[in-house]
Structure 1
Amino acid sequence: MIRAVVKGVGHYLPERVVPNSEFEEKLDTTDEWIKSRSGIERRHFASDDETTSKMATLAAQAALNDAGLTADTVDAIVLATSTPDLTFPSAATMVQNALGMRHGFAFDIQAVCAGFAYALANANALIVSGQAKQVLVIGSETFSKIMDWSDRGTCVLFGDGAGAVLLSAEDSDGTPADRGILASDLNSDGQYRDLLYVDGGISLQSTGYLRMQGKEVFRHAVEKLAETAETAMASAGVEAKDIDWIVPHQANLRIIKATAQKMNLSLDKVILTVQDHGNTSAASIPLALSVGKQRGQIKQGDLIVTEAIGGGLAWGAVVLRW
Structure 2
Amino acid sequence: MDASDIRILSAGTALPGPAVDNATLARRFNMEPLWEQWIDVFIGTATRHLAVDLATGDIRSSLAELGELAARRALDGAGLQPSDVDVIVLGTATPDNLMPATVNLVADRLGVNHLPTYQLQSGCAGAVQALDVARQMLLGDRHSTALVIAGDVCAKHFDLTTDLKSLPPAELVNVVLFGDGAGAAVLTNEDVPGSTAIRHVINELCGLGRSPGQILEWYGLADRNSASSPVKEDYKAIEESVPTMAAEILESLLKATGWARADVDYIMPPQLSGKMTERIMAGLDLPHAAEVSCVAETGNTGNALPFLQLERVLSKMADGDRAVCVAVESSKWIKGGFALEHL
Q: Provide the TM-score with structure 1 as the length reference.
A: 0.90
Post-superposition offset of 1:303: 1.2
2:177 aligned counterpart, secondary structure: coil
After superposition, residues 42-57 of structure 1 pair within 5 angstroms as 42-47=47-52, 48-57=59-68
Q: CA deviation at 1:86?
A: 0.9
Give, as a single letter, the amino acid of the residue that structure 2 aligns with 1:43.
Answer: R
Paired residues for 1:50-199 under 5 Å:
50-147=61-158, 150=164, 151-171=171-191, 179-188=196-205, 189=207, 191-199=209-217
Closer/same/farther in 2, CA of residues 49 and 42 from structure 1, 3 Å limit: closer
Task: Decide whether the 8 Å contact of 1:71 with 1:101 is kept in 2.
Answer: yes
Check the 8 A contact 1:16/1:46 in 2, yes or no. no
| SS of alignment partner, residue 159 of structure 1 | coil
The question of whether the paired residues in 2 share the 8 Å contact of 1:249 and 1:281 is answered with: no
The residue number in structure 1 matching 2:46 is 41
Structure 1: segments with no counterpart, 5+ residues? 173-177
Q: Show the 5 A alignment for 1:171-320.
A: 171=191, 179-188=196-205, 189=207, 191-201=209-219, 206=224, 209-266=230-287, 269-293=290-314, 296-299=315-318, 301-310=320-329, 311-320=331-340
Question: CA, structure 1 residues 226+129, in 2 after alignment: closer, same or farther (shift >3 Å)?
Answer: farther
- 1:175 is aligned to none
Deviation for aligned residue 1:11: 0.7
One-letter code of the match for 1:130? D
Structure 1 residue 205: deviation in Å? 5.1
How far did 1:186 drift?
Answer: 1.6
Distance 1:4 1:93, change over 3 A: same
Q: Which amino acid in the other structure matches residue 311 of structure 2?
A: S
Q: Residue 77 of structure 1: CA displacement?
A: 0.9
Deviation string for 1:69-95 (max 9, x for gaps)? Answer: 111111111111111111012111111
CA RMSD of superposed structures (Å)? 2.4
Q: Distance in 2 between the 1:302 and 1:164 partners?
A: 21
Are the structure 2 counterparts of residues 266 and 133 from structure 1 closer, same or farther at C-alpha, using a change threshold of 3 Å?
Answer: same
Asked if 2 retains the 8 angstrom alpha-carbon contact of 1:229 and 1:318, the reply is no
Given the superposition, is the C-alpha separation of residues 147 and 230 from structure 1 closer, same or farther in structure 2, using an over 3 Å criterion? farther
Change (3 A) 1:131 1:147: farther
1:171, distance to aligned residue in structure 2 (A): 4.8
Distance in 1 between the 2:142 and 2:300 partners? 33
* Contact 2:67/2:182 (<8 A) preserved: yes
Q: Is the 8 A contact 1:147 1:154 kept in 2?
A: no
Question: If you compute each CA radius of gyration, which structure gives the higher value, 1 or 2?
Answer: 2
Query: How far off is 1:191 after superposition?
Result: 3.7
Give me the identity figure in percent: 26
Give the partner amino acid of 2:6: A
Q: How does 1:11-30 map to 2 (within 5 A)?
A: 11-25=13-27, 26=29, 27=31, 30=35
C-alpha contact 2:39 2:45 (8 A) present in aligned 1 = yes
The alpha carbon displacement at 1:256 in A equals: 2.1
Cα distance in 1 for residues equivalent to 2:259 and 2:230: 41
Distance 2:183 2:290 in 1: 21
Q: Could you tell me how far apart the structure 2 residues matched to 1:103 and 1:95 are?
A: 14
Higher mean displacement: 56-65 or 100-109: 100-109
Q: What CA distance in whole angstroms lies between the structure 1 residues aligned with 2:282 and 2:142?
A: 39
| CA distance in 1 between partners of 2:48 and 2:298 (Å) | 4
Q: Shift in Å at residue 21 of structure 1?
A: 1.1
Specify which of 4, 12, 31 is matched with residue 36 of structure 2.
Answer: 31
The answer for the alignment partner of 2:168 in structure 1 is: none
Deviation at 1:192, TM superposition (A): 3.8
C-alpha distance in structure 1 between counterparts of 2:211 and 2:150, whole Å: 22
